[in-house]
Amino acid sequence: MARESTEPTPPDTRTYESLFEHQALFDFSKIINSSLDRKFILNHILLTIMGKMVSVKGMVLLGDGADGYVVTMLKGFDGDLLNERVSIDPLPDQLFTLEDLDEGRFPWIRFFRDQQAEVLLPMVITDKPIGFLAFGGRYARKQITPKEKTYFLSLANISATAVEKSRTIEELRQVNRQLDMKLQELNTLFDLSKEFGSLLDAEKQIRLLVLTLMGQAGVHRYMICQQSGPDMRPVASRIDGPEPQTRLLQDLARIKRPFVVDNLVIRNHPELREVLKGIGMQAVVPMQVQGETRGLILLGEKMTKEPFSPENLEFLASLGNLAMISLENTRLFREAIEKQRLEDELMIAREIQKGLLPAVLPAIPGISLAADNISSKQVGGDYYDALKLSETEWVIAIGDVSGKGTPAALLMANLQATIRALVPLKFPLDELTGRVNDLMCENTGGTKFVTFFWGILDAYAGTLRYVNAGHNYPMLIRLDGSVRRLDKGGIILGVMKTEIPYEIETIQLTPGDTLVMFTDGVSEAMDRDWREYGEVQLEGAVRSHKEESADQIIEAVYADVVRHVGGAPQSDDITMMVLKYSG
Amino acid sequence: MSEFNVQQREHGEISVLDLKGYLDAHTAPKLEDAFQDLLAAARFNIIVNCRDLSYISSAGLGVFMAFIEEVRKNEGDIKLTNMTPKVFNVFDLLGFPLLYDITNEEAEAIRKFTEKRK
């Protein structure tokens, strides 16, 4: 009886196969879920199903978020299809073999039929296909059984979860990287602003900007330009070839937005793009302060060979603006410091000068002496002096030191010290002048000079022995209105050592004589039309006041000079000394 | 105040710079000086060990860009080693692994220099 047979029951083929298939599904799921690498997952899916289907062509299309699907991987199909987008809409209720579908209702079928795809498997997660698997070139074109169909659809759906998981992870990775990048950019801005704020050295600021640009953009070639007056000047560069002309760069300053050189169109200068490309520049970023382009950043190719994206350029523009504000602040700060320094220096010069001029002129019998100095803003280095030499003799002197400011004031102090040291030695005035000249030459090395007039006044004899070393000829105006210019002497002090002795002249004064000594600040005082006051007008002014006291004459001449210049700023000191002899 | 310092070691024809601390806009000139000294001494086989480098900013990365060309022109290289993941991330974000030889261990970089010489 068969019932008593000891033969083992033959295995139920259906259970066996089903078990086998479940095991295979489980293994498949395990493998594709063990990886987060999308490429690996897709590869495994394609190969597994192609193997089971005995087909030589497979393709994965993944959803792009809309109703489109992009060819992401393919095997056996035409490689040009990679990244092609197919709109798979509408979808039939049931999907498997393509031959059952009506191309009229589902026009997208054409894409697959053109490629001789035969089977299309949707990868579904909760009703929505996240992608499709297409297969073709089946080896034995036998009918796929309903059981096989269910099996393939299961494989596709298991794939869907794994693909979706890897995609989510991939997206997270990308978002993370974008966040990292933003953070990196913020750090860069923060780092720079912190450091720029503490640096007040334009050269260091530019170096820092360059390093940051090289690091952030990953470039080797660059050029930084800064507006300087009317020119856009390169201030730092590493380029192949010569720097472009400032005229061309100036045209770039009109551009308010960063741009890629390839996109550059400037109507007036079509060659500009070629010039920039010629020196390897790929991007131009304006550096702006309050909407005005004050500098330019030009960058060469990135080491990644990637083009500059709009986001890159936007960020570099922020970086550039930040740098420009700091550079501008540094410039303004430097200018303010420099201005302050000059003013301080002039203040010192003015004080030196004031300190050297005699506070009170000596009282000389039979003579009234007056002097005044109005120092210009720049401090000219004018000098006058009057010293008692003996009971009967006095030295009077006037001079004009070349240059302005502290150097002139110091030279003037030097002259005064020399005079005061040598005068008591009572050498003859001409010889003394020679010695003063030699000393000045030694002290200045022939780079500065002094025009100088001095004389020894004998109050009792009523004589003046004078030497004029290149100074404006003083005017001796006599009571009868005649004028004599005191022009004897020699070359100005400090230019060359005395070779030709200075000439000396002695003048006999008569009561009512007025001696006017002045510096070129008086005769060359200019009005707004650059017209000089002139010696003729000076002489006229003195002459019409010749009856008056020395003080009054100085006052009158100043009033006349002030009228002439009419408020025009004066660049030189105005100095006068007037001597009135009453006998 | 960010602290940063560079120490130099010699390993035959290879010079190793050990970076320590914060390499940012403020401290980048220190590294520049170190590279300038190496180049002035014609030492072009350079390893930068980043074991104790805790932070690097764009200005710091820029220093490497500033010298790599000259170093390679002289048949040398700047190899970077022992980066912490945080520091590597910055290099990676800005595309540096494309241009620079970055290894996990200093020994590996030394081996590469030595092999090249043979």
Q: What value of ipTM does the predicted structure carry?
A: 0.91
Give the CA distances from residue A221 to residues A27, A192, A237, in Å, rounded to whole numbers and listed in that order: 54, 20, 8
Checking if the pLDDT of A269 tops 70, the result is no
For A162-180, what is the mean pLDDT?
A: 89
Which of A190, A214, A308 should one mutate to test binding to chain B, selecting the residue with the greatest count of B CBs within 10 A?
A214
B85 to chain A, closest Cα gap in Å: 13
Select from A180, A196, A210 the Cβ nearest to the Cβ of B62. Answer: A210
Give tens-digit pLDDT for A115-146. Answer: 888 888 889 888 778 899 999 888 776 777 88
At residue A514, does pLDDT exceed 90? yes
Please list the pLDDT of chain B residue by residue as tens digits (118 residues): 458 999 999 989 999 999 999 999 999 999 999 999 999 999 999 999 999 999 999 999 999 999 999 999 999 999 999 999 999 999 999 989 988 999 999 999 999 999 877 6
Per-residue pLDDT at A12: 62
- Residue from A174, A208, A212, A316 whose CB has the most chain B CBs within 10 Å, to mutate: A212
Residue A1 has pLDDT above 50, yes or no: no
Break chain A into its structural domains and give their ranges: 14-170, 199-332, 357-581
For every residue of A197-218, which 3-state class applies, written as one string? HHCCCHHHHHHHHHHHHHHHHH
Distance CA A115, CA A105 (A): 19
Are the C-beta atoms of residues B54 and B31 closer than 8 Å to each other? no
Query: Using 50, 70 and 90 to split pLDDT, how confident is the model at A22?
Result: confident
> What's the one-letter identity of residue A51?
G
Domain spanning A357-581: which CATH class is it, in words? alpha beta
The residues pairing with A523 across neighbouring beta strands, listed in sequence order, are none
Angle at A315 between CA B84 and CA B52, to 5 degrees: 15
Percent of chain A with pLDDT over 70: 95
Chain A residue with CA closest to B86: the answer is A180
Q: Which residues of A touch B61 (CB under 8 A)?
A: 214-216, 218
Measured in angstroms, the CA of A162 and the nearest CA of chain B are apart by: 28
Q: What tokens were used for A453?
A: 């007039």
Q: State the sign of the Cα–Cα–Cα–Cα dihedral A414, A415, A420, A426.
A: positive
Q: Which helix (H) or strand (E) holds A391?
A: none
Question: Quick check: B25 and A210 CB within 8 A?
Answer: no
Q: Closest partner residue to A191 among B29, B59, B63, by Cβ?
A: B59
In this prediction, residue B107 carries a pLDDT of 94
Interface test with B, best of A173, A190, A199, A211 (most B CBs within 10 A): A211
The three-point CA angle B48-B50-B52 to 5° equals 135
Flag if B25 and A187 touch (Cβ within 8 Å).
no
Residue in A184, A196, A211 closest to B90 by CB: A184
Band (A355; pLDDT cuts 50, 70, 90) = confident
Please state the φ and ψ torsions of residue B62, each to the nearest 5 degrees.
-60, -30
Q: Which residue has the tokens 């196969």?
A: A17
Residue A130 token pair? 């996240």
Average pLDDT over residues A28-42: 88
Instruction: Note the pLDDT of residue A485.
Output: 95
Contact status, residue A299 vs residue A221, Cβ threshold 8 Å: yes
Residue in A359, A357, A448 with CA at minimum distance from that of residue A398: A357
Q: Do A328 and A289 touch, CB atoms closer than 8 A?
A: yes
Cα A39 from chain centroid? 48
Which CATH superfamily, name and number, covers A199-332? GAF domain (3.30.450.40)
H helices present in A288-365, as ranges: 310-356
Contact A482, A453 (CB under 8 A): no
Which residue in A475, A480, A473 sits closest to A542, CA to CA? A475
Q: Which residue has the tokens 């105006």?
A: A477
Non-local (6+) Cβ contacts of A83 within 8 A are A70, A71, A72
Q: How many whole angstroms separate alpha carbon A542 and alpha carbon A564?
A: 15
Q: Which of A196, A204, A211 sits opposite B66 (nearest CB)?
A: A211
Q: What are the structural domain ranges in chain B? A: 4-111
Amino acid at A63: G
CATH superfamily assigned to domain A14-170: GAF domain (3.30.450.40)
Task: State the pLDDT at residue A2.
Answer: 45
Task: Measure the CA–CA gap between A77 and A83, rounded to whole angstroms.
Answer: 13
**Average pLDDT estimate for A322-350:** 87
- Tell me the count of A-B CB pairs closer than 8 A: 90
Q: Is the pLDDT higher at B103 or at A279?
A: B103
Checking phi first, is residue A54 left (phi over 0); if not, alpha (psi -120 to 50) or beta? left
- Note the pLDDT of residue A37: 85
Q: pLDDT category, A13, cuts 50, 70, 90?
A: low
**Taking CA atoms, what residue in B is nearest to A193?**
B25
Euclidean distance between CA atoms A96 and A135, whole angstroms: 11
Average pLDDT, chain A: 87
Place of tokens 């004064």: A509
Residues 6 or more apart from A152 whose CB is under 8 A from it?
A49, A52, A53, A96, A119, A121, A144
A196/A300: higher pLDDT: A300
Name the residue of chain B whose CA is nearest to A184's CA.
B90
Helix axes A146-198, B85-93, angle to 10 degrees: 90
Adjacent-strand bridge partners of A233 = A226
Contact A440, A412 (CB under 8 A): no
Domain B4-111: assigned CATH number: 3.30.750.24
Residue A117: name the closest of A96, A135, A92 by CA.
A135
Contact yes or no for A26/A33 (Cβ under 8 A): no
The reported pTM is 0.61
Contacts of B32 in chain A (CB under 8 A): 211
| Residue keyed to tokens 């997208």 | A108
Identify the pLDDT of residue A6. 54
Task: Please list every residue in chain A whose beta carbon sits closer than 8 Å to the beta carbon of residue B94.
Answer: 184, 215-216, 218
Contact A353, A375 (CB under 8 A): yes
Q: Give pLDDT, residue A267.
A: 64
> Per DSSP, what are the bridge partners of residue A452?
A399, A470
Two structure tokens written together for B15? 């010079």
